Structure 1
């Protein structure tokens, strides 16, 4: 089953209908199935009406208890994975107001305790200077003044010692000239400064480092419950445990090639000096 953004919302309804139909064809009641799946009848009812999106573990257990044929089980498992994925289009964000997206991100950051960011192309707003943030939004067709303010307000979360942040940036992300060279040097200084916070780890992968897996997308993992992937036209939100685990695996693979601490700050100082030269 391919990831079609237009199908993501429908997948939840399709999954609910499919599971409900399978139970009825098997001649089983919700109470019978819930008892054998070790879940409440209320939860099963919510799954079958689409009010709750089940995880793959729940779906696989339901399929096993109902003795679903292997081919059907594979199709339903793929549908469950799709139902746990959300597409957030950029144009829809523009219509709603970009500052609302900032409120959503602030909520995710507030709820999470361990946050991991892989940044292959640009610096994220949490690490950015005001000039960098403003320039990064210059392509937007809507007023961005409130969005800039909200992005900068969100940076306060970095000083919450109960949270732990890890940022992995490629050299391209650090050096991509979003603003003029002098301002880029200040941006690099900003990253170096934030890296001294005890709950923040910032690492860079210099160009030329041999890494077998290409840096395909910017992505963020919030604890072990949600991952977001950025594209040019929007973002994909993964809530399925297997998708999150795969992103964590990729993150750890990149992390093994990263320079942290004084080595990272020495590289930033060298690149900033190039900008100031």
Structure 2
């Protein structure tokens, strides 16, 4: 959860704690008994460690005589939910619309900082690799199968590699070269594509070897767009980070990750080793 969302959740918890105390419940245990909840739930809500549902708000305000605050608090809960976008909501009409939304962001960005420990970044993907990624997403999230259209939108991003003065700083974990997306033929074509984009004048592609010493834990993938936005993808949600202090943390993480990466001939050697590995899969 972003710091903005967490701070909002903690602020909500503080208001709920005030309502409890004003109503004469000296402890969370007393309120939990009145609501027939587990005691730990009251503590988690008051300390911002659990999201409150709308029913939780109604029950809490009912028990503490604060029914007049229900609409305001429910609006707060909904705002917190919006800060953590649910994938299923984004993908309910398919993946193409989500890919389309990213194009204006790419058009405006001057400096990209990309980290992916185990997959090839979308803008570097071949059509076949991207198609398999979207097919997996269709199966996992059970949204309408528009993989072909989504691939087309994703590939539109690639024009920005050749337009303007954009700078691409991309880091991949060595595992990204071996995560088998679509089989050996798809992987070999994808690895060839990586070798090609390495030669583009404004692309800096680094690979962090599996055995490299690290200055920071590898963590999750993220994409930084200038110093204005960071997108973090998880299985359940896409988090948009816009707070300057949080963005600076991702910038710091990226700088530390770069210390473990190899570039140029060394990165090329790692990619060619992965090509050789998939060559052998046909034997």
Give the structure-1-normalised TM-score.
0.69
Partners in 2 of 1:192 and 1:161 — Cα distance?
A: 22
Q: Which has the larger radius of gyration?
A: 2
Q: Counterpart in 2 of 1:137?
A: 134
**Structure 1 residues 101 and 161: alpha-carbon distance in aligned structure 2, compared to 1, 3 A threshold:** same
Confirm or deny that 1:180 pairs with 2:183.
yes
Confirm or deny that 1:202 pairs with 2:199.
no
Partners in 1 of 2:279 and 2:134 — Cα distance?
A: 24
Q: Counterpart in 1 of 2:89?
A: 92
**How far does the alpha carbon of each residue in 1:216-235 deviate from its partner, in whole angstroms, 9 at most, with x for none?**
21101111111111111121
Q: Over aligned residue pairs, what C-alpha RMSD do you find?
A: 2.7
Do 1:86 and 1:238's aligned partners in 2 also have CA atoms closer than 8 Å?
Answer: no
Mean alpha-carbon deviation: is it higher for 208-217 or for 172-181? 208-217
Partners in 2 of 1:212 and 1:257 — Cα distance?
A: 7
Please list every run of at least 4 consecutive aligned residues from structure 1 whose deviation after the TM superposition is greater than 3 angstroms: 7-12
Confirm or deny that 1:214 pairs with 2:217.
yes
Partners in 1 of 2:150 and 2:178 — Cα distance?
A: 24
Do 1:125 and 1:133's aligned partners in 2 also have CA atoms closer than 8 Å?
Answer: yes
Q: Secondary structure at the match of 1:262?
A: helix
The offset of 1:10, in angstroms, is: 11
Q: Counterpart in 2 of 1:111?
A: 108
Confirm or deny that 1:240 pairs with 2:243.
yes
Q: Secondary structure at the match of 2:135?
A: coil
The alignment covers a number of residue pairs equal to 208
The offset of 1:96, in angstroms, is: 4.0
Q: Counterpart in 1 of 2:123?
A: 126
The offset of 1:261, in angstroms, is: 1.5
Partners in 2 of 1:181 and 1:254 — Cα distance?
A: 28
Q: Secondary structure at the match of 1:137?
A: helix
Do 2:230 and 2:247's aligned partners in 1 also have CA atoms closer than 8 Å?
Answer: yes
Q: Secondary structure at the match of 1:220?
A: strand
**How far does the alpha carbon of each residue in 1:122-152 deviate from its partner, in whole angstroms, 9 at most, with x for none?**
1121111111101111131221221111111
Partners in 1 of 2:265 and 2:164 — Cα distance?
A: 21
**Structure 1 residues 4 and 242: alpha-carbon distance in aligned structure 2, compared to 1, 3 A threshold:** closer
Q: Secondary structure at the match of 2:169?
A: strand
Q: Counterpart in 2 of 1:50?
A: none
Q: Counterpart in 2 of 1:266?
A: 269
Do 1:109 and 1:157's aligned partners in 2 also have CA atoms closer than 8 Å?
Answer: yes
Please, which runs of 5 or more residues in structure 1 have no aligned partner? 19-78
Do 2:215 and 2:260's aligned partners in 1 also have CA atoms closer than 8 Å?
Answer: no
Give the structure-2-normalised TM-score.
0.68
Partners in 2 of 1:10 and 1:262 — Cα distance?
A: 45
Do 1:99 and 1:147's aligned partners in 2 also have CA atoms closer than 8 Å?
Answer: yes
